[in-house]
Amino acid sequence: MTRFKTLGQFIIEKQAEFPFAKGELSRLLRDIGIAAKVVNREVNKAGLADILGDNGTENIQGEGQQKLDVFADKEFIEALSNGGECCMIASEEHDECIRINTQVSKNAKYIVCIDPLDGSSNIDVNVSVGTIFSIYRRKNFDNEVSQEEILQQGTEQVAAGYIVYGSSTMMVYTTGKGVNGFTLDPSIGEFCLSHPQMKIGQDPHMYSINEGNYAHFPQGVKDYIKYCQQIDEATNRPFISRYIGSMVADLHRNLLKGGIFLYPATASYPNGKLRLMYECNPLAFIVEQAGGKASNGKSRILEIQPQSMHERTPIFIGNIEMVEMVEEYLIRGVKQPVNTVL
């Protein structure tokens, strides 16, 4: 029987790629992995313990918090605070950043942006949910860490990843040296390397979007959806529509099989709905490292200069050809661009 390399072993092995880190980044990724195991344990108890349903509170976005939102947020903050490698956390569940002022963390080098439980509204019906995280290096050590240090472009990320809690639990991450996936082996309690050097599926025939909002989409997005639905044997169309409603789950499927995830601006969310810092930037980093592309319809997601911690943006993410075609539809505003061959 083949013995899989564990996440801890893999991180230590790759530590030499970051000589400036001196082990801190490795320990930080380890801490995230430990918290993910705890959250996974609770997710798997859904229906057996009092962890389902509305918590009766709202996050800063005005969205109702599920009990598991609050639990996951607490676990990740606790793990990152106790680990000593993180000086500040930006979480979807908090209005302001969380400064870690423990003795062990005062000189920590890293800032973490995190969505503790993406798609949590689906947990009651046993649909896959996930965690998304992004890691930045602190720039200024002369003064106390400030919220402004969070507002770095996505190109400045030193690592990013997600954990998907589904039929199996997987952690997928990148440090800018490719993308690797680890599956949790419950028999030994370890994440084991199962998907080395992941590349986005090269037979893209899938699009993921909430078509219930079709009437509110920009015309270019409507036209692109019509294009995807047209029958064309040369381009293997019509494409398959698959939408789970949990961004991590949708993106994970498209990463493995090939496709595009679209979340455009609408009348209700003219600036887009998904958050740049702890949803779009980390997933864009992963997809680009896997050979794909991420755009807001006009420019590269990773090059957007954030203005606030909870800034929102439209996002089109997946195979390069599919994303570029959406951009063309949006920019040209015509139903059939010059080149419609994928």
Q: In the structure, what pLDDT confidence band is assigned to residue 338 with cuts at 50, 70 and 90?
A: very low
Binding site as annotated, residues for substrate:
118-121, 210, 243, 273
Question: Which strands form 86-91's sheet, in the order they lie side by side?
Answer: 98-99, 86-91, 110-118, 129-137, 157-165, 169-174, 179-185, 190-195
| 294, 280 contact by CB (below 8 A) | yes
Domain 206-332 has CATH 3.40.190.80: yes
Q: Between vectors from CA 148 to CA 101 and to CA 61, what angle results, nearest 5°?
A: 90
pLDDT for 114 = 97
Top-ranked range on mean pLDDT: pick from 31-35, 42-46, 101-105: 31-35
- Residues belonging to the binding site are 92, 115, 117-121, 210, 243, 273, 279
C-alpha 190/C-alpha 285 separation (Å) is 25
pLDDT tens track for 73-98: 999 999 999 988 999 999 998 999 99
Q: What's the pLDDT score for residue 196?
A: 96
- DSSP SS3 for 10: helix
Task: Return the pLDDT at 182.
Answer: 97
With contact defined as beta carbons under 8 Å apart, do 297 and 266 qualify?
no
pLDDT of residue 1: 39
| Number of alpha helices (DSSP H) and beta strands (DSSP E) in the chain | 7, 17
SS3 113: strand
Question: How does DSSP classify residue 280?
Answer: I
C-alpha span between 283 and 261 (Å, rounded): 11
Grade residue 54 by pLDDT with cuts at 50, 70 and 90: low
Q: Note the pLDDT tens digit of each residue in 260-310.
A: 999 999 988 999 999 999 999 999 999 999 999 999 999 999 999 999 999
**Residue closest to 131 by CA, chosen among 57, 55, 73:** 73
| Known binding residues for Mg(2+) | 92, 115, 117-118, 279
Most confident of the following: 5-9, 52-56, 158-162: 158-162
Quote the tokens at residue 31.
Answer: 């801490």
Distance CA 131, CA 97 (A): 18
pLDDT tier at 342, thresholds 50, 70, 90: very low
b/e code 194-228 from CB counts within 10 Å (16+ = b):
beeebebbeebbbbbbeeebeeebbebbbbbbebb
Residue 212 pLDDT class (50, 70, 90 cuts): very high
The hierarchical CATH code for the domain 7-195 is 3.30.540.10
Mean pLDDT value across the chain: 88
The pTM assigned to this predicted structure is 0.90
User: Are the CB atoms for 25 and 208 separated by under 8 Å?
Assistant: no
CATH 3.30.540.10 domain residues, the chain: 7-195
